[in-house]
Structure 1
Amino acid sequence: MTQTNSSLTTAPPQITASAAARLAAEHFGLFGTLTRLTSERDLNFRIEGPEGAHVVKIANAQEPHEVTRFQTEALLHLHSTAPDLPVPRLRRTVTGATEVILPGGEMLRALTYLQGQPMHAAPHPPAQRIAMGQMAARLTKGLQGFAHPAAGHRLQWDIRHAADLAPLLPQIADADLRSLATATLERFVAHVAPRLKDCRWQVVHNDLNPHNVLVDPADPAIISGILDFGDMVETPLVCDLGVAASYQLDPADAAASLAAFTAAYDTELPLTDTELSLVADLTQARMLTTLAIASWRASLYPDNAPYILRNVPSAQAGLAALAAVPPEALTETIARACGRT
């Protein structure tokens, strides 16, 4: 596998909750009870105390500092350009800084803790799909104009690099699924990758999966929080749509659900004809990426496999459902839903 982020092959920081509590108090003036949160490559704790609820984030030591600062600056940008978006707020240190570099090279930050029910654990009414499409577009609009030196860093989760996944496909244990993944990758290389240069590029969130989205427990069609900007990157903005869409697909009605999500996005941020024609393939590319990277990482970290593999079942079902529909029919359905035919 070429140019894979080293943080993907490095275990999360090994810092105890008591040590994290001391760091939170010393650097951010935060006191309270810590609860560890799940994370694939970083170390995160929720701290609840007199200052309210916050997340103490300790970035993987292998994550370049400029990449983490990139995430911080993006949040500050959003606070200015789209203050109504439900994203975390940065907590500055007692000296006014945005971060602290620890002796082991890890970067320490603190953000407000957003309230809500994780989307993956909530009901999924059809209206939620529409709300998510609109929210994804609003977030992308909020990031327009944002630039940073680390925005172009190479990230394997950036689906424009899907061609690099070929060496990982043998890690997919199921033979039929592996064959489907191989066919999906071949189509991506031949028909999708060459056209990405004709799309609009900008910084995007790049990981709007149901574990990174919160909804209102009283009304799961209301998006109440967007979390984890750790996979942010500059890429074709339609790639971000494909990422988000891959988690909103109903395998029982793949074409219609993908079209509904895309149409909701399109009402907030109109897509070009080229971008519309790539939505279905990019959605499949994200599913392929999830299957390949998760299978590979689960083999490296079997103790954390349940968390790493959490999105595999939906990716498998979605990829099979979309592959059963002719590509031309998918594109036509999406275009019709967006009023382009």
Structure 2
Amino acid sequence: MTDTREISLTGDIDGDVTALKTRPDAIDPTIATCALLEHYGISAEVTELRGERDSNFLVHSGGIPRFVLRIANVAEQRLVAAFRAAELLHVAHAAPQLPAPRLRKTTRGADGFDLPTAAGPRHGQLVTYLPGTPMAAMPDARFQHHHLGETAARMSLALQDFEHPGAHLPLLWDIARLPQAAQFIAHTVEPEQVRLVTWAVENYLALGDALRRARRQVIHNDLNPHNIMMDAETHTVTGVIDFGDSVHSTLANDAAVACSYILDDSDDPLAPVRDFLSAYCRILPLDEAEAGMLPVLIAARHALTILITNWRATLYPDNAAYILRNQPRSVLGLRHLHAMGKHRPRDQIFAAIAGQTP
């Protein structure tokens, strides 16, 4: 087996690495409330939210959440903010029934505003708050995964004709960047993690021409249970939030990201994945090659999570618990996929898409 440390790296990810390495300076809530009043004419209270790169605030009035204010990392390129705004506006126009945040324009009609800080200007944007309970906090139920699959497919359909130059900026959280992210393997010291990550990277690289022929478009790229809001009674999706990792990439990667989070630790770990894919493919069918590579892409996402979180935890040891919160799920997912071998996951996925019971 090839040591991941020896895998050649191609492509420039320096810009996104810089953003992930740059800790956002704290924004005083008073400054956030003043910015809301100045740029949106909104008088409200704010509560700080945690974020990987940015400063985020929940905006509420009379105790009722209304908006989410995002103030970007000082290292973020302006083109990224333009892309995010254009994407939300496109989804609102192309699929108004989708429960996605709506961009709120400033009083001057702009997509956002600049906030001067000691470290440099930071760009702010305001989006509507979407109610519901995070899927991560919901009791597990099979029909949740059906609803998630349907919503994910409709989101991909809404974005299939959307283009923006900012979508092509390198993003480290893009599964396609796994070979470049392998440079962070030195920060992964647990032998089992090194072995599993190496296995996942080798399998991803072996996809070769099949991956290059696969459909590509803008994808949400982070359909994890914390970004999916649901109705606690009906278990339907009431919100898809956090478009911050959207990127132009392989279409199947979007389904792979969602599946990586719902693969569980039961006697049948792929059951939620089958439920998701049977619903997804009824709306947006994947071809045989795309479906066949899904187990490799799911493993690749898990490997990416381990590599990036271990690296960032060494940069910010005081925030390591938050950074590493999803890593146990990724290690577990790789264990299951590795133990099942090459054919079993693929056969189960083909059966789910065909509407059969494996």
The TM-score with structure 2 as length reference comes to 0.91
Which of 201, 204, 211 aligns to 1:188? It is 204
What amino acid is the match of 1:245?
C
- The CA deviation at 1:73 is 0.5
2:220/2:245 contact within 8 Å kept = yes
- The CA deviation at 1:193 is 4.3
- The CA deviation at 1:199 is 0.8
- The CA deviation at 1:142 is 0.8
1:45/1:55 contact within 8 Å kept = yes
Q: What SS does the corresponding residue of 2:30 show, helix, strand or coil?
A: helix
- Give runs of aligned pairs for residues 266-281 of structure 1, distance below 5 A: 266-281=281-296
Whether 1:158 and 2:170 are equivalent positions in the alignment is no
What's the counterpart of residue 241 of structure 2?
A: 227
Alpha-carbon distance in structure 2 between the residues aligned to 1:193 and 1:259:
25
Provide, for residues 20-79 of structure 1, a one-character-per-residue CA deviation record: whole Å limited to 9, x for no partner. Answer: 111111101121211001101100001112796111110111111111110110110011
- The CA deviation at 1:165 is 2.2
What amino acid is the match of 1:66?
L
Which of 90, 93, 100 aligns to 1:80? It is 93
Unaligned runs of 5+ in 1: none
What amino acid is the match of 2:296?
D
Alpha-carbon distance in structure 2 between the residues aligned to 1:109 and 1:255:
38
2:217/2:250 contact within 8 Å kept = yes
What's the counterpart of residue 122 of structure 1?
A: 138
Q: What SS does the corresponding residue of 1:151 show, helix, strand or coil?
A: helix
Which of 17, 21, 25 aligns to 2:33? It is 21
- Give runs of aligned pairs for residues 25-40 of structure 1, distance below 5 A: 25-40=37-52
For these two proteins, the number of residue pairs brought into alignment is 339
2:196/2:303 contact within 8 Å kept = no
- The CA deviation at 1:90 is 1.0
What amino acid is the match of 1:187?
N
Alpha-carbon distance in structure 2 between the residues aligned to 1:305 and 1:213:
24
What's the counterpart of residue 133 of structure 1?
A: 149
What's the counterpart of residue 335 of structure 1?
A: 350
1:170/1:178 contact within 8 Å kept = no
What's the counterpart of residue 143 of structure 1?
A: 159
Alpha-carbon distance in structure 1 between the residues aligned to 2:334 and 2:230:
25
- CA RMSD, Structure 1 to Structure 2 (Å): 1.7
Which of 69, 73, 84 aligns to 2:82? It is 69
Alpha-carbon distance in structure 2 between the residues aligned to 1:53 and 1:210:
21
What's the counterpart of residue 13 of structure 2?
A: 3
Whether 1:321 and 2:331 are equivalent positions in the alignment is no
Unaligned runs of 5+ in 2: 1-8
The TM-score with structure 1 as length reference comes to 0.95
Q: What SS does the corresponding residue of 2:67 show, helix, strand or coil?
A: strand
Alpha-carbon distance in structure 2 between the residues aligned to 1:45 and 1:9:
21
- The CA deviation at 1:251 is 2.8
